[in-house]
């Protein structure tokens, strides 16, 4: 049998590319019968129809037109590394093998020279069926192809087969795109498929295993699988569990594809119109369903969704945090609150920034909305000019009422009679108000040792400034409550040291001893063992205390303090001035500094940020109060007009400087003046 001469490049690529068939009589009838290939005896293999001629729809590469069709030993052929079809149905292979036994291999496979043999480019299914049929040789079209050309040929041949399975087709498209030699547009031109078709097939590569198995078994149609594959894996799993799994409560197996698409979009698609953040970037985003061919039908009404849920959630959380902070900056009297619908990430972000979010006791609808601004009338909505004029008058009256109510509300908030809430929801923040009434509380008054009586007192709600000061004190308590809680966890893992005691440790110890008595097990841990029995008697403890070593003393004190702080230190109402809390932190600093500082610094940072935020609000309210007080004092000050002087005659003009009257010392009324000369003066004379 003659063969086509190989070109120079073929000779360099493999020495077996132009070697003769393994069987010496391969050109004879015996070899052809063994292969069961119907080829005329007098015709060379080169004259037979090639794969291109047998299946003209196969798009073969044209860069290497030289071909060599031969009968090749199956043992000299290795599997394809480019075939997108990885799984073959056993029943179909058996059917093909039986057909080959009866009629032979009607269409050659395609191979390329590879090392010591040949590698299948396409036709792997025929190769396996031939092996199952017991053939030793198979007709093959030998082509000199590069890796890229071999991959393209395999993909093209498998995509154009009539029996290609949907997921195999999807894998082929994906392989073509991953090669970097094709785009969606080039695949559309190459195979004559629409962009929507190729994209829908590519989505099948993202099916979860359970749904992929159902598609391969044809338990669900490719249309249903495509609709489900549009959504992330977690949604696919939920859809499978609820509507396609064996024994599910609400099966969708008999539901039409359009209905399934509608149900999926309404239930699982994140609709952009529901969110209030700036969606300018979303208009041109690839994850916007309005920009995707696969969601063309669902977005007909203009309701676009977002497939990038992480991005959408991040933008929504940032929007809520920024809006909440703006509310506080605009009005420091505002109280941030949550009704349980606030995203956890938003609460955490606000807490980290030093803002406190109060948890509401009731539903948001329990609180008042506040005055509503009336709508401005429009001339086009009125029948006549008279109707428009009447609408204008009604609007002005309502606007005046709205202004009055708003001013009264602001006054009540300033006086502490109304609390203003900024309730953070899942998608937005709404302002609500709560009227605070004076509260009567029953208290017990002690007038003596045995004389007690109960009275009712009126508790006036705190002003906004007092409320902020209370919040500052509470934030301080929260800080040290967290420190106390986490420090107790640290105490569970630390080991007491045997280094000499410090003076502060001794002070802590003696204070703690007065509060608690150590158990026998703790004494054992510190090196105290009973001579007999299972526990130390009082006499043994007393005797041991007299012989205690410095090492035992240190271990005893530290073990006692660790146990004491772990169980006795309070977790509520803590401050840095709480004695036990301060002692615990100081003890931790001395013995396990790193863990202690880590716990304290974590919460102190949050407290300092909260303190700074509250101080800003306090300063703003104080400045506002001072300004209001100054304005009120200036309004209440009387206007003094200079009194008008009476009209005086020219001779009645008063002196510019009146002369002072002589000083007259009055004498006693019944005593005459003594005119006699004193005896001392007479003697002198």
Q: What average pLDDT does range 52-68 have in this prediction?
A: 39
Residues in the chain: 685
**Model confidence band, residue 315 (pLDDT cutoffs 50, 70, 90):** very high
Output the pLDDT for position 149. Answer: 77
pLDDT digit string, tens, across residues 489-547? 898 888 877 788 887 887 787 567 645 656 667 677 777 777 777 777 767 767 676 66
Catalytic residue among 119, 124, 169, 472: 124
Q: What average pLDDT does range 119-123 have in this prediction?
A: 83
CB atoms within 10 A of CB 608: 13
Q: What average pLDDT does range 382-390 have in this prediction?
A: 89
Interior angle at CA 640, CA 634 and CA 642, nearest 5:
155
Asked if residue 324 lies in contact with residue 305, where contact means CB atoms within 8 angstroms, the answer is no
**pLDDT higher than 60, residue 119:** yes
Structure tokens at 366: 């329990």
In angstroms, the Cα distances linking 296 to 194, 261, 355, 495 are 14, 11, 44, 66
The residues pairing with 424 across neighbouring beta strands, listed in sequence order, are 338, 429
**pLDDT higher than 50, residue 4:** no
Helix, coil or strand: residue 305: strand
Structure tokens at 197: 């078709």
pLDDT digit string, tens, across residues 235-256? 889 899 999 988 888 889 888 8
Q: What is the DSSP string of 439-463?
A: EEEEEEEE-SSS-EEEEEEEEPPPP
- DSSP H helical segments within 133-181, as ranges? 147-159, 166-178
**pLDDT higher than 70, residue 300:** no
Q: Is 618 exposed, middle or buried (0-12, 13-18, 19+ CB in 10 A)?
A: middle
Q: Using the 8-state DSSP alphabet, how is residue 379 labeled?
A: G
Q: What is the DSSP string of 191-245?
A: H---HHHHHHHHHGGG--HHHHHHHHTTSS-HHHHHHHHTS-HHHHHHHHHHHTS
Helix, coil or strand: residue 279: coil
Helix, coil or strand: residue 438: coil
**pLDDT higher than 50, residue 22:** no
Output the pLDDT for position 347. Answer: 92
**pLDDT higher than 50, residue 558:** yes
Q: What average pLDDT does range 148-170 have in this prediction?
A: 73
Helix, coil or strand: residue 436: coil
What is the C-alpha radius of gyration for the chain, rounded to an integer number of angstroms?
49
Output the pLDDT for position 505. Answer: 83
Structure tokens at 114: 């590879």
Instruction: Report how far apart the first and last C-alpha atoms of the chain are (Å, whole number).
Output: 187
Residue 459 backbone class (left: φ over 0; alpha: ψ -120 to 50; beta: rest): beta
Contact partners, residue 175, CB within 8 Å, separation at least 6? 82, 84, 151, 155
Q: What average pLDDT does range 425-445 have in this prediction?
A: 79
Dihedral over alpha carbons 49, 52, 55, 57 (to 10 degrees): -160
Asked if residue 428 lies in contact with residue 367, where contact means CB atoms within 8 angstroms, the answer is no
CA nearest neighbour of 485 among 565, 590, 587:
565
Task: Give the β-pairing of 137-143 and 67-73.
Answer: antiparallel
Structure tokens at 677: 């000369």
**CA–CA distance, 481 with 670 (Å, rounded to integer):** 89
To the nearest 5 percent, what fractions of the chain are helix, strand and coil? 50, 10, 40
Q: Which of 31-40, 320-329, 425-434, 544-553 has the lowest mean pLDDT?
A: 31-40
**Model confidence band, residue 323 (pLDDT cutoffs 50, 70, 90):** very high
Average pLDDT, the chain: 76
**pLDDT higher than 70, residue 50:** no
26 or 470: which carries more pLDDT confidence? 470
pLDDT digit string, tens, across residues 626-643? 888 888 888 876 655 555
**pLDDT higher than 80, residue 313:** yes
**Model confidence band, residue 114 (pLDDT cutoffs 50, 70, 90):** confident
**pLDDT higher than 50, residue 65:** no
452 or 489: which carries more pLDDT confidence? 489
- For the question of residue 242 being annotated catalytic, the response is no
Output the pLDDT for position 15. Answer: 34
Q: What average pLDDT does range 584-609 have in this prediction?
A: 91
In angstroms, the Cα distances linking 42 to 1, 51, 61, 211, 425 are 10, 21, 30, 54, 86
CB atoms within 10 A of CB 284: 8
672 or 184: which carries more pLDDT confidence? 184
**CA–CA distance, 362 with 342 (Å, rounded to integer):** 15
**Model confidence band, residue 142 (pLDDT cutoffs 50, 70, 90):** confident
Q: What average pLDDT does range 182-186 have in this prediction?
A: 82
Output the pLDDT for position 17. Answer: 36
Q: What is the DSSP string of 458-497?
A: EEPPPPHHHHHHHHHHHHHHHHHHHHHHHHHHHHHH----
Output the pLDDT for position 31. Answer: 35
């Amino acid at each position: 049998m003659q063969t086509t001469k190989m070109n120079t490049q073929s000779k360099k690529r493999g020495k077996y590319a132009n070697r003769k068939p393994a069987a010496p009589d391969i050109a004879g009838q015996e070899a052809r019968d063994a292969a069961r290939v119907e080829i005329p005896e007098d015709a060379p293999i080169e004259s037979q129809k090639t794969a291109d001629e047998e299946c003209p729809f196969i798009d073969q590469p044209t860069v290497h037109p030289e071909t060599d069709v031969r009968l090749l030993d199956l043992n000299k052929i290795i599997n394809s590394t480019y075939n997108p079809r990885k799984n073959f149905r056993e029943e179909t292979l058996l059917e093909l093998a039986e057909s080959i036994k009866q009629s032979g291999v009607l269409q050659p496979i395609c191979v390329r020279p590879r090392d010591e043999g040949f590698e299948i480019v396409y036709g792997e299914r025929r190769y396996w069926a031939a092996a199952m049929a017991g053939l030793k040789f198979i007709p093959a079209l030998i082509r000199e192809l590069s890796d890229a050309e071999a991959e393209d040929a395999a993909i093209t041949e498998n995509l154009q087969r009539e029996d290609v399975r949907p997921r195999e087709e999807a894998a082929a498209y994906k392989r073509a795109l991953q090669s970097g030699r094709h785009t969606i547009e080039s695949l559309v031109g190459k195979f004559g498929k629409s962009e929507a078709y190729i994209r829908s097939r590519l989505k099948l590569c993202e099916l979860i295993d359970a749904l992929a198995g159902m598609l391969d078994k044809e338990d669900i149609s490719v249309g249903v699988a495509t609709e489900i594959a549009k959504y992330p894996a977690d949604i696919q799993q939920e859809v499978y569990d609820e509507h396609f799994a064996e024994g599910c409560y609400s099966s969708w197996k008999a539901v039409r594809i359009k209905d399934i698409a509608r149900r999926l979009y309404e239930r699982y698609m994140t609709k952009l119109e529901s969110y209030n953040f700036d969606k300018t970037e979303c208009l041109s985003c690839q994850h916007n369903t309005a920009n995707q061919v696969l969601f063309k039908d669902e977005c007909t009404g203009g309701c676009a969704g977002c497939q990038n849920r992480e991005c959408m959630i991040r933008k929504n959380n940032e929007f809520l945090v920024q809006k909440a902070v703006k509310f506080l900056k605009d009005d420091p009297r505002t109280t941030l609150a949550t009704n349980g619908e606030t995203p956890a990430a938003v609460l955490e972000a606000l807490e980290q920034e030093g803002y406190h979010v109060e948890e509401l006791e009731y539903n948001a609808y329990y609180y008042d909305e506040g005055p509503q601004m009336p709508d401005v009338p429009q001339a086009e909505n009125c029948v006549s000019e008279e109707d428009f004029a009447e609408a204008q008058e009604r609007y002005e009256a309502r606007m005046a009422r709205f202004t009055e109510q708003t001013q009264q509300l602001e006054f009540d908030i300033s006086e502490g009679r109304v609390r203003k809430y900024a309730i953070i929801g899942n998608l937005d923040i709404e302002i609500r108000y709560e009227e605070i009434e004076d509260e009567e509380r029953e208290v017990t008054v002690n007038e003596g040792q045995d004389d007690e009586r109960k009275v009712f007192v009126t508790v006036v709600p705190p002003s906004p400034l007092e409320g902020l000061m209370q919040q500052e004190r509470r934030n301080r308590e929260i800080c040290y409550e967290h420190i106390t809680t986490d420090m107790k966890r640290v105490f569970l893992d630390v080991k007491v040291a045997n280094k000499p005691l410090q003076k502060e440790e001794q002070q802590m110890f003696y204070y703690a001893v007065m509060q608690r008595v150590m158990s026998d097990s703790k004494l054992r841990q510190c090196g105290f063992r009973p001579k007999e029995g299972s526990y130390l008697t009082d006499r043994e403890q007393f005797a041991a205390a007299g012989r205690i070593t410095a090492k035992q003393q240190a271990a005893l004190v530290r073990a006692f303090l660790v146990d004491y702080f772990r169980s006795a230190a309070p977790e509520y109402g803590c401050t840095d001035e709480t004695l036990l809390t301060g002692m615990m932190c100081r003890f931790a600093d001395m013995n396990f500094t790193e863990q202690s500082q880590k716990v304290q610094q974590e919460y102190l940072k949050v407290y300092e940020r909260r303190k700074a935020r509250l101080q800003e609000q306090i300063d703003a309210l104080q400045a506002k109060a001072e300004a209001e007080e100054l304005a009120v004092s200036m309004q209440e000050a009387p206007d003094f007009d200079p009194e008008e002087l009476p009209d005086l005659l020219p001779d009645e003009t008063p002196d510019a400087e009146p002369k002072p009257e002589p000083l007259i010392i009055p004498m006693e009324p019944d005593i005459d003046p003594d005119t006699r000369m004193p005896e001392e003066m007479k003697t002198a004379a």
